[in-house]
Amino acid sequence: IDTSPRNFGDKHEDGTPILNRYSTVLTNGYDYPGAQAMLYAEGIKNKEDMVKKPQVGIASVWWEGNPCNSHLLELGNKVKAAVDKQGFIGWQFNTIGVSDAVTQGNEGMRFSLQSREIIADSIETVTVAQHHDANISIPGCDKNMPGCVMAMLRHNRPSIMIYGGSIQPGKSKLTGGDLSISSCFESAGALMYGKINEETMDDIVRHACPGPGGCGGMYTANTMASGLEVMGLTLPGSSSFPAGSPAKFRECENAAEAIRVCLEKDIKPRDLVTKESLENALVLTAALGGSTNSVLHFLAISHTADLNLTIDDFQRVADKTPILANIKPFGKYMMNDLYEIGGIPSVCKFLISAGLLNGTLMTVTGKTLEQNVANAPTLEPTQDIIRPLSDPIQPKGPIRILYGSLAPGGAVAKITGKEGETFTGKARVFDREEQLIHAFTQGDVKPTENTVLVIRYEGPAGGPGMPEQLKSSALLIGANLKNVALITDGRYSGASHGFIVGHITPEAQRGGPIAIVKDGDVITIDAVNNKLDLHLSDQEIAQRLSEWKQPPLRVNRGTLGKYCRLVGDASHGAVTDLF
Ligand code: FES
């Protein structure tokens, strides 16, 4: 008996199509009786089921201690029941994950970006090693979504993603306003500079997260979920169905029907992730004013799919796409407000009709994007959440790709227009974020003259893990320090706004010019001409670079030790499989 994976179109002896093309390696004949014995032990009922039923891996990025992910096991249970109802066999497993809001401090955040690679490695490993015929992945927090999709692209078996959904806004009794996770970070700066008292601070922290779900603004999780939805990797509406809503539970049931369609029509991740669908994702991200972390993640997804998206594509798309979403961090509303007016399907319908999105691309439903959203509610002219093209929040997308003497390999800024378009100031240099936070806590960052805070040795290898300078950027906002900018070879949060530049490449650890900046050097961030320059002569820069000595890696052992040796630069997605 031939036990190699079957081709699409092969048939069982009774003429029915073989949908269990990979698990058939184990389940036909008796080459692997031990495997069959274990599968019977796990619940396969009879020989016919063993030989014929497709086995669907259901991977949730579930763990407790983080509202973005703690409800995903429940979603996985619903998917399993629905998969079983389809006459398939669902095998649940889960991966590790970390929360960007919890992985704070000196050590924690260094594991955040790296967790994307571990999620991808984990799902790839289980799917291929266990001979799953298809995969349904259920991510929640930021790095989960690209991690799941990178795994899909590696195993390239029919796959669907179900986003865990957004959290509801919190309510502060004392301030009376809606709260999001960024309210907490920003209030810390306000407390430090005496703008609120401890009672208010405590009330904000106590009420900001009222239940399960990913952060509710257009931060990284919602940005990535929306972008992957428009790429056809989820069912329509996945990115805007609130966590815990009946719509989210229905999506779990519908995903099982859709995985049948993918198996029957042989729709695979590499059929859906194309240069054209990535372009759609970039357009939607720009129109939504999405997170700069999406630059890293879409580059990583493109790399995994062997496509050639470049950092410059983000600038090209931003230049032609207006910001239409009046959603936090720099707008007024949250993802749940967008859900009420039709969610991402209505946005897609609008952008397709405006000629900004390509609606002809295939999706996991077996239909095109345009067909999927045809019945979505049309955006009402009276609503204020998605602006018309004639009255955008800003005429261009927020992501700026900057180059210059400080960033020969590129850097990423998020410019909303509120912060102005150029900034020149004197450098104040910190070799890690904690030094800057210490300066903040001592009241030692004073708004007396234009200052560019430089946080370096925080890149993919140097951090390691390219930690988000979340606290620093939020403190700047909370303290309302308007004549202070921040640049880093690390990342900054999707919730950040203000004059902040990250992803500076090459990073300091690998000898980028950011390594040779000294206190008092003059730096210009120019978002009109997309430049990031150190005002020194070429000779001075070359002289300082020749004198620079590479410091030893901060971590040599364990998972981060492996990571910082393997990881590539931010302008290519900071991936670890660059071989
Ligand atoms: Fe998990 Fe924001 S920290 S989605």
What are the tens digits of pLDDT across the range 531-544? 999 999 999 999 99
Measured CA distances, 348 to 287, 383, 505, 543 (Å): 10, 16, 33, 52
Helix then strand then coil, % of the chain, to nearest 5: 40, 15, 45
Among residues 493, 496, 537, 571, the one annotated as catalytic is: 493
142 CA to middle of ligand 1, Å? 6
For 470-534, what is the HEC assignment?
HHHHHHHHHCCCCCEEEEECCECCCCCCCCEEECCCCCHHHCCHHHHCCCCCEEEEECCCCEEEE
Mutate to test the pocket of ligand 1, among 99, 104, 182, 336 (most ligand atoms within 8 A of CB): 99
Q: Is 221's C-beta closer than 6 angstroms to any atom of ligand 1?
A: yes
Contact 57, 126 (CB under 8 A): yes
Enumerate the β-bridge partners of residue 575: none
Q: Is 468's C-beta closer than 6 angstroms to any atom of ligand 1?
A: no
User: Which range, of 195-199, 279-283, 326-330, averages the lowest pLDDT?
Assistant: 326-330
3 CA to middle of ligand 1, Å? 43
**φ, ψ of residue 166 in degrees (nearest 5):** -90, 150
Q: Is 101's C-beta closer than 6 angstroms to any atom of ligand 1?
A: yes
Ligand 1 atom nearest to 221, measured from its CA: 4
pLDDT on residue 299: 98
493 is catalytic: yes
Q: How confident is the model at residue 416 (pLDDT cuts 50, 70, 90)?
A: low
Q: Is 28's C-beta closer than 6 angstroms to any atom of ligand 1?
A: no
DSSP letters spanning 385-433: SB--TTS-SBSS-SEEEEEETTEEEEEEEE--STT-SEEEEEEEEESSH
What is the spatial distance between Cα 107 and Cα 336, in angstroms, rounded to a whole number?
Answer: 33
pLDDT at 426 over 60: yes
Angle among Cα 354, 359, 365 to the nearest 5 degrees reads: 145
What is the spatial distance between Cα 474 and Cα 214, in angstroms, rounded to a whole number?
Answer: 19
Q: What is the mean pLDDT of residues 15-24?
A: 95
Quick check: ipTM above 0.95? Answer: yes
pLDDT at 61 over 70: yes
* Model pLDDT for residues 480-517, shown as the tens digit of each residue: 777 888 999 999 865 566 788 999 999 999 999 999 99
Q: Is 100's C-beta closer than 6 angstroms to any atom of ligand 1?
A: yes
Q: Whole-model pTM?
A: 0.95
pLDDT at 562 over 70: yes
For ligand 1, atom 2, the nearest C-alpha belongs to 215
Other C-beta atoms lying within 10 Å of the C-beta of residue 92 = 18
* Model pLDDT for residues 368-409, shown as the tens digit of each residue: 999 999 999 999 999 999 999 999 998 988 889 999 999 999
